[in-house]
């Protein structure tokens, strides 16, 4: 793939980050992975993404070490994609982009994020105003339906995410 070739002369770390996650759909795949989505069909249905694009994004993210492919069934063979430590480290950037998006005209919060141990809503970069410090660990983030959420009853991922849960908690739906 010809990812990021145009950025070759841009040596800054933002440009390098965009070489990996700047392609269309990539950050939404990572978002879903952080929400606990692991399986091809679940990404497919929840993202409404063309199959070839999803396959390419999953492969590129796996090669970049953001996702890790794990066999979860042998007959027939089936893999799932689990977000790695490198992928988890993208959460503050995604949270910051999402918080910024909330300031755009007409955008309603689809999800709320709360620091589970103390119940405080997360700040714009995933920090907790009550507990202090930088972004809190992902395992401690509760994800709840927001005021703008209108779950799609035909989408099992959308249904799962309509209930309070933790980031990274696996969303497992039946194979289609």
Does 167 sit near a second copy (CB under 8 A)? Answer: no
| 36: its two tokens | 């606990």
Q: Which stretch binds a second copy (CB under 8 A): 36-44, 67-75, 86-94, 167-175?
A: 86-94
Q: Which is nearer to a second copy, 45 or 116 (CB)?
A: 45
How many C-alpha atoms does 122 have within 13 Å on its Cβ side?
29
Binding to a second copy (CB under 8 A) within 7-66 occurs at 7, 9-18, 20-22, 24-25, 27-28, 31, 47-49
Q: Residue 73 pairs with which residues in a beta bridge?
A: 78
Binding test (CB under 8 A) with a second copy, winner from 56, 78, 109, 165: 109
d(CA 15, CA 90): 15
| 69: its two tokens | 């492919």
Q: Which is nearer to a second copy, 79 or 109 (CB)?
A: 109
Binding test (CB under 8 A) with a second copy, winner from 82, 93, 144, 172: 93
Q: Are 28 and 83 in contact (CB under 8 A)?
A: no
- Count of residues near a second copy by CB under 8 A: 55
- Between the two ends of the chain, the Cα-to-Cα distance in Å is 29
Does 97 sit near a second copy (CB under 8 A)? Answer: yes
DSSP 46-110: HHT--HHHHHHHHHHHHHTTSEEEEEEETTTTEEEEEE-HHHHTTHHHHHHHHHHHTTSTT---S
Binding test (CB under 8 A) with a second copy, winner from 44, 55, 56, 124: 124
Binding site for a second copy (CB under 8 A): 6-7, 9-18, 20-22, 24-25, 27-28, 31, 47-49, 86, 89-90, 92-104, 107, 109-111, 123-127, 129, 132-135, 148, 150
């Amino acid at each position: 793939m010809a990812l990021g070739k145009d950025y070759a002369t841009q040596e800054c770390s933002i440009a390098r980050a965009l070489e990996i996650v700047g392609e269309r759909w990539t950050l939404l795949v990572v978002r879903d992975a952080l929400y606990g989505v692991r399986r091809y069909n679940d990404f497919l249905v929840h993202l409404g993404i063309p199959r070839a694009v999803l396959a390419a994004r999953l492969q590129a993210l796996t090669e970049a070490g953001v996702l890790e492919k794990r066999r979860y069934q042998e007959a027939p063979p089936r893999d799932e994609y689990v977000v790695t430590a490198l992928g988890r480290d993208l959460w503050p950037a995604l949270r910051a982009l999402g918080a910024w998006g909330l300031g755009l005209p007409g955008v309603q919060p689809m999800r709320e994020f709360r620091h589970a141990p103390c119940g405080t809503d997360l700040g714009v970069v995933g920090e907790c105003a009550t507990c202090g410090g930088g972004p809190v660990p992902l395992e401690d983030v509760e994800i709840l339906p927001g005021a703008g959420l209108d779950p799609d009853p035909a989408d099992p991922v959308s249904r799962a995410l309509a209930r309070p849960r933790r980031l990274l908690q696996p969303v497992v739906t039946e194979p289609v």
